[in-house]
Structures are given as structure tokens and as C-alpha cells.
Amino acid sequence: MSADKKLFIKTYGCQMNVYDSERMAEALGGKGYVQTDTPDDADMILLNTCHIREKAAEKVYSELGRFKGLKAANPDLKIGVAGCVAQAEGEEIIRRQPMVDLVVGPQSYHRLPAMDDTVRRGAKALDTDFPEDDKFDMLKKRKRASRAPTAFLTVQEGCDKFCAFCVVPYTRGAEVSRPSARVISEAHELVESGVKEITLLGQNVNAYHGHEGGLAGLIWELDKIDGLERIRFTTSHPNDMDDALIDAHGSCDKLMPYLHLPVQSGSDRILKAMNRKHTAESYIKLIERIRAARPDLLLSGDFIVGFPGETDEDFEDTMSLIREVNYGQAYSFKYSTRPGTPAAEKPQLPDDVAADRLQRLQALLKSQQIANQDAMVGGRVKVLFEKEGREAGQLIGKSEYLHAVYAEAPKEALGQVVEAKVVESSPNSLAGVCL
């Protein structure tokens, strides 16, 4: 192995990219790379990119522009683009930005070591295949001396849903589930190196079919792992919330009472145009069933405003759905036209209409989030402490509902679940006193 080379990875987009970045670093570790947290002295810079909205994709090119000086100063510096922009744009990236040496799509990360050999020889390396082999099997093992108390674990990738606005089925390919035995052995390794909470990841994680019992079957297997205290999963599609998964929310103690269940719109007309294959009413009924199983569950969602053809009335339907459901937290976006998706062919709404709607929608969601957090004051939460806070003696962790919680606690409490009384609510966090 050669002397250590420095690898700088910058990650955009969803949690799956966070997970992938870690696996890429591990794969390149075998080629003598160690990670660094600044691009300034790196031998390789990798941007792990997101294509979901136009802004996210364009960011990549402005970021690349900033590395020009570094490349001029160090001709041995190699620059790579990974992730969903790499998959969507392929060699176009090198055409637009010739200083890029390497372009690798999300399904080809196990080929990175060979691609490193290619770029070190001075050639360009491009791989945006969807190979048959399981990249996770071929990537290096995740063994490590110690880890943070929380970890992501990808169990499913890709999407077959083809919502009319979304690039994911094109950038991540068809739905593929990892066999449960592999997921479970990876979970054991994580727990052995100190992980207490695992978040199962998938673009449509509740469509997981690597276990005969589906995602719920996998969760119950993970439930048996001693030392694993918390299980979460994200992101789910309403149409794949089966009875077993709803039941698990009521009966599996390790499964946390938090669910991210995007609905996108509250208008049936728009849901149909989006190809979501569910109605506002079926979504609300589903939420009722989930809350019957787990009444304190904190619900999160995603919304898009300004989808082609969305009228004021459609938008008001979305506002009504939000009022009816009452979200503990949510993400909302202005519709972004993505080339190659069916919705991009439709007449687009003026930007100011979408911007105005987004503002109103976000104000409503924010007021629900604040009201929900305020209602926690005086109650108790269980906090898994993850890191030290800014003030001395303070630790930061997550409640079972995924609130950020600050509390005074000894350093030894890091990695522990501690019960705390909530004494204050701020817009994005809670303050607690350990009991």
C-alpha cells in the first residue's frame, strides 16, 4: 500500500448519500486514502451529489469552480463527482467541467478502487452502470474500533414509483432490497462498535422485501440484537405502509415513535397528476390507523407546492390536509422542473405564485411544529446523547421523537439513553433536565 493520501468528501442530498460517502471512504481506504475535513491539502476531492431539485444540481458546478485554484496548484489532485448528478449527467459533467477526473454513479461505488488506478494513470474514469452485483457486498466491511451512537444502514435502494416530478427512479434505478441476513450482520458489526440507534434507509424503505416479513420482519430481527436500543426507518411511501409495519409501531419497543410519511399534496387532482396512486382521504385514514397503534407518534412529511396545474383550490386542499393531520415537523419545497420527468412537459406555474404558496404553507407547518414542541414542556423524553454541546457540561441528543434535546449531563452519558424532563421549547430544539 502506498503512503497515505488525503481524501475530502463533500456530501449533498439525502441520508443515503451520507451512508454512501462513508462506504466510499472505506473503499478508498484500501487504496491508502485517509479522510480529511478540508479540500485544501487533499489528493482526491469527491463530491457526492444530489439531483432532486435544480438548485441542488447546479450547486455542483459552482462548487467545482471553486476547486480550480487547488487543481492548478497541485496537478496530482484528482476530482471526482459521485451520486445522483453523476448518474443523471454522466460524461456531460466532464464536458462542462474538464478538470473533473472521475464520474461515478451510485451503483458503481465498489469499482472506485479500480477507477482510482485509472485516474492516477492520468486518464478519465466514468462509470454510471447499473451492475447486477450487490455493490454493498463488494464494498469493504464496515468494521471500526469505535463509532458514534447513531448510524445509517441502507437496506433498500431505488424506486419503481415514478412520481411525475421525481428523478430518483432514473438516478437510483429500480427498487432493490439487500437480503436480511446481510443487513443483520452489518447491524451486529455496528452495535459491536458502539452504535445504539440504527436508521434503516431506503428511497422507499417500507417496500423492503429482503425479508419474507417485509420491513416489519426485518425490524423484528433487529429487535433481537442485544445492545441495539433504537430502530428508525426512512423514507416511506403511504402505499407501502402494511399492517405488520403499523402493528410494529404499536408493539416493538425499540422502534421509535416517529414516522416520515410524505404525501406531497392534499388535492386528489394533483395527487393523480403526480402519479402518487393514493388520495388525500386514503392518506388521512392511514394516519388514523397508525396513530391508533401508536398515539404519541410524531408525524413528519414532505410537500411540493406549485406543481404544474396546481390551482388556488388545490393548494387550499393541501393546507386543509395539513390542518387535519397536524405534523410535528415537515419539509416543503417549491416544485422544481426536472428534465426527463413527465411533469417537466406540462405548462409550468409562475415562480411568484409558487413562492407565495410555499411561504404560507411553511408558516402553517412551522406553527404546528412549535405548538407540538411547546406541548412537550413539563413532560418527559428519553434522550440518546450523541455529542457535546457548545456550553461546558452540556450534551446534545435526540428524543425518541427525534427532537434535538440539550441538557446538562456528564460526559459519560454520551451514547446512553437518559430520561429527561423537558423544561423549555425553542423552534428547533428542546431543553431538558436529566432525571
Q: Assess 17 for contact with ligand F3S (CB under 6 A).
A: yes
d(CA 352, CA 358): 10
Q: Assess 28 for contact with ligand F3S (CB under 6 A).
A: no
Q: Which does 304 bind (CB under 5 to 8 A by kind): ligand SF4, ligand F3S, ligand SAH, none?
A: ligand SAH
d(CA 160, CA 236): 13
d(CA 368, CA 362): 10
d(CA 43, CA 27): 15
**Pair 335, 342: CB distance under 8 Å:** no
Q: Assess 159 for contact with ligand SF4 (CB under 6 A).
A: yes
Kindly identify the residues of this chain, within the stretch 375-414, that bind ligand SAH according to CB under 6 A. none
Quick check: helix, strand or coil at residue 152?
Answer: strand
**Pair 71, 47: CB distance under 8 Å:** no
Selected from 7, 27, 46, 52, the binder of ligand F3S by CB under 6 A is: 52
Q: Assess 83 for contact with ligand F3S (CB under 6 A).
A: yes
- Binding range to ligand SF4, per CB under 6 A, among 76-84, 111-119, 158-166, 309-317: 158-166
Q: How far is the CB of 48 from ligand SF4 (least distance, A)?
A: 18
Selected from 70, 118, 119, 162, the binder of ligand SF4 by CB under 6 A is: 162
Q: Which of 83, 199, 189, 104 is nearest to 141 (CA)?
A: 189
Q: Assess 82 for contact with ligand F3S (CB under 6 A).
A: no
Q: How far is the CB of 76 from ligand SF4 (least distance, A)?
A: 38
Between 142 and 277, CB nearer to ligand SF4: 277
Selected from 7, 16, 163, 349, the binder of ligand F3S by CB under 6 A is: 16
Which helix (H) or strand (E) segment is 434 a member of?
Answer: strand 429-434
β-strand partners of 80: 46, 102
Q: Assess 237 for contact with ligand SAH (CB under 6 A).
A: yes
Selected from 7, 9, 14, 298, the binder of ligand F3S by CB under 6 A is: 14
Q: How far is the CB of 107 from ligand F3S (least distance, A)?
A: 12
d(CA 423, CA 362): 26
Which helix (H) or strand (E) segment is 84 a member of?
Answer: helix 83-89
Question: Residue 234 corresponds to which cell in the numbers above?
Answer: 426512512
- Per the annotation, does 434 bind a ligand? no
Which helix (H) or strand (E) segment is 232 a member of?
Answer: strand 230-234
Quick check: helix, strand or coil at residue 329?
Answer: strand
Between 84 and 298, CB nearer to ligand SF4: 84
Q: How far is the CB of 18 from ligand SAH (least distance, A)?
A: 14
Residues at the binding site for [4Fe-4S] cluster are: 14, 50, 84, 159, 163, 166
